[in-house]
């Protein structure tokens, strides 16, 4: 929401204004550029947020997989007793 | 060792410890060393001089250090009090230059607004819009120039204004990320708007009436916008002038400071919204009462943001603000085997994004380029009719389906489908690579893309049915479809039925909340 909210801001408008100062294009061409620019920005933001959601769901897969298969638990069971050896407690 | 010799040997050290204990600010590391040494000495004295006063003395000393080290945790009320009466005033004091700059920029913009309005009679139309001017002029003719504040119900108006002001303040702050320039621009824009708005009434000979109405809530509201601008400048300064820190570290610190400053103004923005919704409408209140209210508001704002921090700085703050809460530089890795809470999944999504930022940006940029190129090649003309461009966030979200199903471009669902398939496959392959520590083979790419097809079709169909039902079903099915795609690519070997079976099995085991509820 914030990413998309940032699009309709004075900053984006200001950027387009600055472009009009630098590039001398007819007004209709400039309008078209504005539409293309906003369109690209809009789609970039949309796909970026979508990518974040995909990442979140990917991570959720591993959590669900962990609950189902208890891989982490099996790994911890395998390590029982190892930590004491590492700390040298066995020698004491 | 004789007792006198023991005392003679250590008395200088104990004296020094006594002095440290009396200090207002104690160094925790020193205190820790002190505690260890004193308990050592106490153990020695308990062994060799159990019935002597030196043991009692050392026991007393150890006890007082123990109390200092193991202080009971601060109560929530004390933490609350500390934040509002110590930490925030200190932050505002340290950001006093940013506050001054924000105020000057706003005041200058207000002046520009007034001057522009005075020199160009058409200027208010550009800034406020013709419909607003027409409405206000009609209100003036009807003898109630401030009728705009009486149009809606009290609560609805207060709520709407509060949300809008929170959004404006947040925008003023967030745009500070562009080394503070964004905040300055938003401040200028708002300053010009206020100047024009105020001068518009001055021109109509309604200065006093408008002033006493607008500034009832405006005093707190505008002060908050200025403080939000200062918070944005503080954040941007960290990025522009990192000092001895690495740039990202300096930015982390300055953003945190700015965020705290924003927390400080949030209740005031809500208060200003409620004053505007509930009190501003009573324009027949005697002028002296309204003027008094404005003065009290101004007094409060000046006291809390300027006078109190300055006084506290002169007296001395309870504890200086150290930048000690900075996490060490770590190569953070995601543990794919651990079971995560929903909050952890959210945090680690950003961690994954950070670790693979470049690849994800290239991927997102690629599908954006693909989509936009296809759209502009296929659309009959480049105009605003083709898509709803985001002039308003909520309007945009409501018309989101236009970027998938559009009357002017029949092939749009296919283009979007292809983009979704590429994006999901790309991101999922990155994650599989990160978890399995090996790249999925390129020969599997076609199979992976195909595995994303059924889920993609479901995702697109969600947007086919317009209206509220889309959002309702979408919020439940959308994550499920993405999970289905991931399972298809990760373990079902592209067989959508096996993938669906596994997805539903997990759903049944873990409930509709998907994640573990701990």
Q: How far apart are CA A45 and CA B364, in angstroms?
A: 9
**Is the CB of A17 inside 8 Å of chain B's CB atoms?**
no
Find the CB nearest A39 among B387, B397, B486. B387
Contacts of B352 in chain A (CB under 8 A): 55, 58-59
Contacts of A75 in chain B (CB under 8 A): 337
Lowest average pLDDT, out of A67-76, B408-417, B496-505, goes to A67-76
> Do the Cβ atoms of A8 and B390 come within 8 Å?
yes
> Do the Cβ atoms of A40 and B376 come within 8 Å?
no
**Per-residue confidence band for A45, with pLDDT thresholds at 50, 70 and 90:** confident
Domain tally, chain B: 3
- Find the length of chain A: 92
Contacts of B455 in chain A (CB under 8 A): none
Q: Is residue A92 part of a domain?
A: no
**One domain for residues B58 and B95:** no
Q: How far apart are CA B285 and CA B305, in angstroms?
A: 29
Q: Is residue A27 part of a domain?
A: yes
B334 HSE (CA, 13 A, CB side): 31
> Do the Cβ atoms of A57 and B479 come within 8 Å?
yes
What pLDDT shows up at residue B220? Answer: 94
Measure in Å the smallest separation between the Cα of A90 and chain B Cα atoms. 27
> Do the Cβ atoms of A55 and B349 come within 8 Å?
yes
What pLDDT shows up at residue B51? Answer: 77
pLDDT above 70: residue B164: yes
**B78: number of Cβ within 10 Å:** 10
Measure in Å the smallest separation between the Cα of B381 and chain A Cα atoms. 10
Q: What is the mean pLDDT of residues B87-100?
A: 93
B69, B98, B124 — which closes off a domain? B69
Q: Is residue A42 part of a domain?
A: yes
Q: How far apart are CA B110 and CA B494, in angstroms?
A: 62
* Cα angle B261, B264, B270; round to 5: 130
Find the CB nearest A44 among B186, B365, B479. B365
State the residue for tokens 């079971």: B339
**One domain for residues B300 and B362:** no
**One domain for residues B212 and B350:** no
pLDDT above 50: residue B512: no
Q: How far apart are CA B408 and CA B384, in angstroms?
A: 12
B393-449 pLDDT, tens digit each: 555 556 667 778 877 788 888 999 999 999 999 999 999 988 888 777 777 888 888
Q: How far apart are CA B87 and CA B261, in angstroms?
A: 10
Per-position DSSP letters for B302-338, written without gaps between them: HIIIIIHHHHHHHH--SS------PPP-------TTS
Closest-CA residue in chain A for B385? A35
Residue-number span of the structural domain to which B271 is assigned = 88-315
> Do the Cβ atoms of B390 and A72 come within 8 Å?
no
> Do the Cβ atoms of A51 and B396 come within 8 Å?
no
B125-137 pLDDT, tens digit each: 888 888 888 888 8
Show the 3-state SS of B84-113. HHHHHHHHHHHCHHHHHHHHHHHHHHHHHH
Closest-CA residue in chain B for A41? B368
> Do the Cβ atoms of B423 and A61 come within 8 Å?
no
Specify whether the backbone of B122 is left (phi greater than 0), alpha (psi in -120 to 50) or beta: alpha
Q: Is residue B337 part of a domain?
A: no
What pLDDT shows up at residue A26? Answer: 73
What pLDDT shows up at residue A91? Answer: 45
Q: What is the mean pLDDT of residues B193-198?
A: 90
> Do the Cβ atoms of A63 and B367 come within 8 Å?
no
What pLDDT shows up at residue B517? Answer: 39
Measure in Å the smallest separation between the Cα of A35 and chain B Cα atoms. 7
**Per-residue confidence band for B515, with pLDDT thresholds at 50, 70 and 90:** very low
**One domain for residues B284 and B426:** no
Q: How far apart are CA B223 and CA B213, in angstroms?
A: 16
pLDDT above 80: residue B25: no
What pLDDT shows up at residue B282? Answer: 85
Find the CB nearest B389 among A35, A52, A75. A35
Find the CB nearest A4 among B174, B346, B396. B396
Encoding tokens for residue A32?
Answer: 């078209």
Query: Please, are residues B334 and B434 in contact by the beta-carbon 8 Å criterion?
Result: yes
**Per-residue confidence band for A2, with pLDDT thresholds at 50, 70 and 90:** low
Kindly report whether the global pTM for this prediction surpasses the value 0.80: no
Q: C-alpha distances in angstroms, A1 versus A9, B225, B289, B390, B394?
A: 13, 21, 41, 12, 9
**Per-residue confidence band for B271, with pLDDT thresholds at 50, 70 and 90:** very high
Q: Is residue B321 part of a domain?
A: no
Tell me the helix, strand and coil percentages in chain B, rounded to 5: 75, 0, 25
CA B497 remoteness from chain centre: 42
Percent of chain B with pLDDT over 70: 88
What pLDDT shows up at residue A71? Answer: 65
What pLDDT shows up at residue B516? Answer: 43
Encoding tokens for residue B249?
Answer: 């570290």
What pLDDT shows up at residue B489? Answer: 84
What pLDDT shows up at residue B358? Answer: 92
Give the best residue of A2, A3, A7, A10 to mutate against chain B (max B CB count within 10 A): A10
pLDDT above 90: residue B310: yes
pLDDT above 80: residue B379: no
In sequence order, which residues have a C-beta less than 8 Å from that of residue B407 and are 6 or more positions away?
none
pLDDT above 70: residue B71: no
**One domain for residues B269 and B145:** yes
Contacts of A54 in chain B (CB under 8 A): 423-424, 427-428, 482
**One domain for residues B439 and B296:** no
Q: Is residue A70 part of a domain?
A: yes
**One domain for residues B64 and B93:** no
**B465: number of Cβ within 10 Å:** 12
Q: What is the mean pLDDT of residues B141-170?
A: 83
- Beta strand spans in B132-217 (E): none
What pLDDT shows up at residue B461? Answer: 84
Helices within B321-452 (DSSP H only): 342-355, 357-378, 393-398, 412-436, 445-451
Find the CB nearest B428 among A36, A58, A75. A58
**Per-residue confidence band for B236, with pLDDT thresholds at 50, 70 and 90:** very high
Find the CB nearest A10 among B189, B376, B478. B189
A&B contacts, CB < 8 Å: 154
Q: Is residue B336 part of a domain?
A: no
Q: What is the mean pLDDT of residues B357-384?
A: 86
**One domain for residues B55 and B108:** no
Q: Is residue A77 part of a domain?
A: yes
Indicate the DSSP class of residue B149: G
**Is the CB of A51 inside 8 Å of chain B's CB atoms?**
yes
Greatest CA separation for chain B: 103
What pLDDT shows up at residue B266? Answer: 93
**One domain for residues B361 and B296:** no
Query: Please, are residues B416 and B456 in contact by the beta-carbon 8 Å criterion?
Result: no
More confident residue, B35 or B429: B429
Measure in Å the smallest separation between the Cα of A54 and chain B Cα atoms. 7
**Is the CB of A63 inside 8 Å of chain B's CB atoms?**
yes
**Packing angle, helices B453-462 and B496-510, rounded to 10:** 60
Measure in Å the smallest separation between the Cα of B294 and chain A Cα atoms. 30
> Do the Cβ atoms of A59 and B334 come within 8 Å?
yes
Residue-number span of the structural domain to which A28 is assigned = 2-87
B37, B69, B101 — which closes off a domain? B69
**Please, which contacts does A66-73 make with residues 24 or more away whose CB atoms are closer than 8 Å?**
A66/B337, A66/B338, A66/B339, A67/B339, A67/B506, A67/B509, A67/B510, A67/B516, A68/B505, A68/B506, A68/B509, A71/B337, A72/B337, A72/B338, A72/B339
**One domain for residues B210 and B290:** yes
> Do the Cβ atoms of A59 and B185 come within 8 Å?
no
What pLDDT shows up at residue A92? Answer: 37
Closest-CA residue in chain A for B481? A57
Q: Is residue B119 part of a domain?
A: yes
**Is the CB of A90 inside 8 Å of chain B's CB atoms?**
no
Helix (H, G, I), strand (E, B) or coil at B291: helix
Q: Is residue B239 part of a domain?
A: yes
Contacts of B367 in chain A (CB under 8 A): 47
Closest-CA residue in chain B for A14? B185
Q: How far apart are CA B337 and CA A90, in angstroms?
A: 29
Find the CB nearest A11 among B182, B478, B505. B182
> Do the Cβ atoms of A11 and B364 come within 8 Å?
no
**One domain for residues B363 and B300:** no
Q: How far apart are CA B71 and CA B275, in angstroms?
A: 43
Encoding tokens for residue B514?
Answer: 């998907």
Per-position DSSP letters for B53-76, written without gaps between them: HHHHHHHHHHHHHHHHHTPPPPPH
**Per-residue confidence band for B215, with pLDDT thresholds at 50, 70 and 90:** very high
Residues B305, B311, B314, B319, CA torsion sign: negative
Q: How far apart are CA B93 and CA B232, in angstroms?
A: 15
CA B289 remoteness from chain centre: 37
> Do the Cβ atoms of A54 and B423 come within 8 Å?
yes
Encoding tokens for residue B18?
Answer: 């006594």
Q: How far apart are CA B434 and CA B208, in angstroms?
A: 66
**One domain for residues B370 and B429:** yes
Q: How far apart are CA B430 and CA B422, in angstroms?
A: 12
**Is the CB of A25 inside 8 Å of chain B's CB atoms?**
no
Domain tally, chain A: 1
Residue closest to A67 by CA, chosen among B307, B249, B408, B340: B340
Residue closest to B349 by CA, chosen among A44, A58, A72, A4: A58
More confident residue, B394 or A81: A81
Q: How far apart are CA B35 and CA B42, in angstroms?
A: 10
Q: Is residue A20 part of a domain?
A: yes
- Which neighbouring-strand residues pair with B406? B409
Q: How far apart are CA B59 and CA B23, in angstroms?
A: 20
């Amino acid at each position: 929401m914030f990413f998309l909210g940032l699009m309709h801001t004075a900053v984006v408008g200001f950027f387009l204004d600055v472009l009009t100062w630098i590039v001398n294009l007819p007004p209709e061409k400039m309008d078209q550029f504005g539409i293309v620019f906003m369109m690209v920005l809009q789609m970039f933001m949309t796909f970026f947020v979508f990518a974040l959601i995909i990442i979140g769901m990917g991570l959720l897969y591993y959590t669900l997989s962990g609950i189902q298969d208890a891989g982490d638990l099996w790994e911890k069971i395998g390590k029982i007793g190892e930590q004491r050896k590492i700390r040298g407690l066995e020698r004491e | 060792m004789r007792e006198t010799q023991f005392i003679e040997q250590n008395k200088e050290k104990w004296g020094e410890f006594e002095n440290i204990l009396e200090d207002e600010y104690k160094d925790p590391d020193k205190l820790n060393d002190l505690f260890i040494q004193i308990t050592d000495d106490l153990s020695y004295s308990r062994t060799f001089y159990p019935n002597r006063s030196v043991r009692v003395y050392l026991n007393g000393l150890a006890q007082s250090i123990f109390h200092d080290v193991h202080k009971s945790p601060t109560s929530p009320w004390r933490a609350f009090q500390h934040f509002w009466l110590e930490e925030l005033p200190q932050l505002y004091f340290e950001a006093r230059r940013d506050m001054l700059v924000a105020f000057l920029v706003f005041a200058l913009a207000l002046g520009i607004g007034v001057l522009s309005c005075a020199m160009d009679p058409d200027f208010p139309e550009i800034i406020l819009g013709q419909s607003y001017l027409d409405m206000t002029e009609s209100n003036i003719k009807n003898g109630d120039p401030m009728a705009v504040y009486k149009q809606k119900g009290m609560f609805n108006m207060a709520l709407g204004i509060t949300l809008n002001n929170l959004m404006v303040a947040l925008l003023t702050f967030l745009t500070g990320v562009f080394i503070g320039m964004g905040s300055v621009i938003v401040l200028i824009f708002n300053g010009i708007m206020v100047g024009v708005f105020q001068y518009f009434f001055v021109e109509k000979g309604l200065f006093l009436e408008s002033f006493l109405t607008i500034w009832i809530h405006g005093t707190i509201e505008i002060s908050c916008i200025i403080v939000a601008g200062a918070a944005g400048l503080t954040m941007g300064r960290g990025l522009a002038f990192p000092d001895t820190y690495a740039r990202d570290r300096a930015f982390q610190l300055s953003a945190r400071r700015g965020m705290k400053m924003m927390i400080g103004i949030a209740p005031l923005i809500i208060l200003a919204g409620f004053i505007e919704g509930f009190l501003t409408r009573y324009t027949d209140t005697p002028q002296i009462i309204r003027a008094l209210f404005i003065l009290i508001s101004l007094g409060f704002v000046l006291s809390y943001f300027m006078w109190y921090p300055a006084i506290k700085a002169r007296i001395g703050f309870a504890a200086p603000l150290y930048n000690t809460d900075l996490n060490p530089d770590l190569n953070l890795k995601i543990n794919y085997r651990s079971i995560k809470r929903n909050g952890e999944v959210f945090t680690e999504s950003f961690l994954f994004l950070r670790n693979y930022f470049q690849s994800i940006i290239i991927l997102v940029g690629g599908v954006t380029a693909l989509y936009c190129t296809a759209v502009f090649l296929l659309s009959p003309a480049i105009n605003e009719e083709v898509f709803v461009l985001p002039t308003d966030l909520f309007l945009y979200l409501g018309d989101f389906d236009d970027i998938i199903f559009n009357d002017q471009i029949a092939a749009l669902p296919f283009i979007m489908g292809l983009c979704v398939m590429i994006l999901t496959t790309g991101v999922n392959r990155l994650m599989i690579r990160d978890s399995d520590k090996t790249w999925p083979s390129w020969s599997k790419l076609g199979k992976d893309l195909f595995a994303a097809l059924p889920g993609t079709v479901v995702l697109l169909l969600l947007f086919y049915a317009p209206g509220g039902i889309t959002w309702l079903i979408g919020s439940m099915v959308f994550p499920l479809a993405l999970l289905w795609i991931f399972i298809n690519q990760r373990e079902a070997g592209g067989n959508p039925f096996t993938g669906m079976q596994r997805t539903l099995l997990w759903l049944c085991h873990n409930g509709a909340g998907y994640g573990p509820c701990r």
